[in-house]
């Protein structure tokens, strides 16, 4: 499983999509934490990570499916998704590598 994980991470960051996804995450999180007046750390004068832990799951909820669609499309195009679906392994094992 470790070799599949390394292969997927290398494929993700060898394309421009990986860097765009990381950049989008950081820009959205920066906007939420510093620019928007309701959630800005500068207004509270207390540096807590509460807003980070509140907003990161919401951002990941939209970002992760957008990134993983490419992997599933490549599996479907190469025909290995049918092979994975017919094997007696759990969905968690397929997703984790």
Residue 97, pLDDT score: 66
Query: Is the CB of residue 68 less than 8 Å from the CB of residue 11?
Result: no
Reported as a pLDDT band with limits 50, 70 and 90, residue 26 is very high
Residue 55, pLDDT score: 86
Q: What is the pLDDT of residues 83-95, one digit of tens each?
A: 877 878 787 877 7
pTM (predicted TM-score): 0.69
Spell out the residues 6+ positions from residue 12 whose beta carbon is closer than 8 angstroms to its own: 18, 67
Query: At residue 23, does pLDDT exceed 90?
Result: yes
Residue 57, pLDDT score: 92
Mean residue pLDDT of the chain comes to: 82
């Amino acid at each position: 499983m470790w070799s599949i994980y390394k292969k997927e991470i290398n494929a993700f960051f060898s394309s421009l999509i990986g860097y765009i996804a990381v950049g989008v995450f950081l820009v959205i999180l920066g906007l939420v934490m510093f620019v928007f007046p309701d959630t800005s750390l500068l207004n509270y004068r207390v540096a807590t990570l509460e807003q980070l832990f509140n907003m990161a799951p919401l951002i990941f909820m939209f970002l992760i499916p957008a990134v993983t669609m490419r992997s599933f499309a490549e599996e479907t195009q190469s025909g290995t998704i049918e092979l994975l679906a017919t094997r007696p392994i759990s969905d968690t094992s397929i997703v984790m590598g």
